[in-house]
Amino acid sequence: MIAELIKQAFAAMDPDTGMFPQHNCKGCGKPLNADGGHPAELYAGTYTGLCYTCRDAGPYSVQEYPSGARLMSHRPHCPSYRMNRETYIYMPGCANPKCDHGRIWVYRSDGSGGSYTVNCPDCWSAHHNHPIIADLTRRQEAYHKALHTKMTELQKAWTKFCRRAGIDIYSVTAQEIGGSYRADLAEWKRDNPYPDDYDMTPSGIAG
- Percentage of the chain modeled with pLDDT above 90: 67
The whole-angstrom separation of Cα 55 and Cα 76 is 8
Predicted TM-score of the model (pTM): 0.76
Higher pLDDT, 102 or 201: 102
Q: In the predicted model, what is the mean pLDDT of the chain? A: 90
The whole-angstrom separation of Cα 38 and Cα 168 is 56
Q: Are 84 and 76 in contact (CB under 8 A)?
A: yes
pLDDT at 203: 47
Other beta carbons within 10 Å of 147: 15
The whole-angstrom separation of Cα 108 and Cα 193 is 44
Q: Are 91 and 122 in contact (CB under 8 A)?
A: yes
* DSSP conformational letter for 113: T
Is the pLDDT assigned to residue 150 strictly greater than 50? yes
- Contacts (Cβ under 8 Å, ≥6 apart) of 69: 89, 90, 91, 92, 123, 126, 127, 130
The top-scoring range by mean pLDDT among 8-17, 134-143, 194-203 is 134-143
* Mean pLDDT across 163-177: 92
pLDDT at 82: 73
Residue 143 burial (10 A CB sphere; 0-12, 13-18, 19+): middle
* Mean pLDDT across 79-89: 85
